[in-house]
Amino acid sequence: MKIILVCSAGMSTSMLVKKMRSAAEMRGMDVEIEAVPESQLKNNVEGLDVVLIGPQVRYLEKKIREFVEPKGIKVDIIDSIAYGMIQGDKVLEQAISLNN
């Protein structure tokens, strides 16, 4: 599964990506997780399954949905509490449930 987190600058999101990768590794999952600014999303859709949008850029949701949903890619806003507390396991679970 390939997951992209869309953010603005990427500091807290990159920490969340590390936690998500650790959670996936503990589950024995084969996942690719990256954080990119919205401007780079178009360069990263190949093989993409899920886009999770950082709460601080939730205003981009409509634009992102219009771009990726026709390609069969699932989209959601990252739970703000899980994001703020950098709970990689919970955000990974959010991505998994979207992809099922």
Q: For 46-87, what is each residue's pLDDT tens digit?
A: 999 999 999 999 999 999 999 999 999 999 999 999 999 999
CA distance 9 to 39: 11
The verdict on whether 15 is a catalytic residue reads no
Residue 90 neighbours by CB distance under 10 Å: 17
> Which residue bears the tokens 């949905």?
65
3-state secondary structure of 98: helix
Q: Residue 12: pLDDT band by 50, 70, 90 thresholds?
A: confident
3-state secondary structure of 1: coil
Domains of the chain: 2-99 (3.40.50.2300)
Which residue out of 7, 16, 53, 82 is catalytically annotated? 7
Strand blocks (E) in the chain: 2-7, 32-37, 50-53, 74-77
The tokens describing 55, both together, are 């709460």
